């Protein structure tokens, strides 16, 4: 700010145009940096939330399969639709069209991230493969 002296008094005059433009430029640069950091953080947060949601859903479905397999004495796998049936006729099945996990034809879980589940059996090993959105695959192994 400039001061002009006149008639024995110092008079204040406003900011110069250069000072105002400089202040606006510095403010614009700082705001751009803050906005960039905010947008970057937002993208990371969304990606992490998607990963957590996918992991939670896969873990929950895996827990249903684990409980089903642990309670069964014998199992039969239908390789066409990857349904698993135990010795008393109870069945666990993932409906890919509706994205629902069914036990004995009752929906127990509606998924948002799982796309398909495949079940395989060889000797005493059962392999369950989950395919989730963004082409993420998870595989679980159970010994029977």
Q: What's the confidence (pLDDT) of residue 3?
A: 56
Q: Which residues pair with 119 in a beta bridge?
A: 128
pLDDT at 35 > cutoff 70: yes
Q: What's the confidence (pLDDT) of residue 123?
A: 84
pLDDT range class, residue 5, cuts 50, 70, 90:
low
pLDDT at 21 > cutoff 90: yes
pLDDT range class, residue 8, cuts 50, 70, 90:
low
76-95 tens-digit pLDDT:
999 998 999 999 999 999 99
**What's the pTM value of the predicted model, to 2 decimals?**
0.71
Which residue ranges make up each domain of the chain? Answer: 3-41, 52-143
Strands, E, within 8-124: which ranges? 9-12, 75-78, 83-86, 91-95, 100-103, 106-110, 114-122
Mean pLDDT of 102-128: 92
């Amino acid at each position: 700010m400039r001061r002009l002296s006149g008639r024995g008094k110092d008079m204040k005059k406003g900011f110069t145009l250069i000072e105002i433009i400089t202040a606006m430029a510095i403010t614009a640069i700082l705001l751009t940096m803050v906005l960039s950091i905010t947008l970057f953080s937002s993208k990371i947060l969304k990606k992490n939330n998607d990963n957590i949601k996918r992991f939670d859903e896969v873990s929950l479905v895996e827990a249903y399969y684990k409980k089903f397999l642990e309670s069964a004495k014998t199992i039969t796998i239908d390789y066409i639709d990857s349904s698993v049936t135990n010795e008393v006729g109870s069945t666990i099945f993932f409906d890919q069209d509706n994205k629902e996990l069914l036990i004995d034809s009752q929906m127990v879980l509606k998924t948002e991230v799982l796309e398909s589940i495949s079940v395989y059996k060889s000797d005493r090993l059962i392999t369950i493969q989950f395919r989730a959105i963004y082409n993420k695959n998870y595989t679980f192994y159970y010994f029977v």
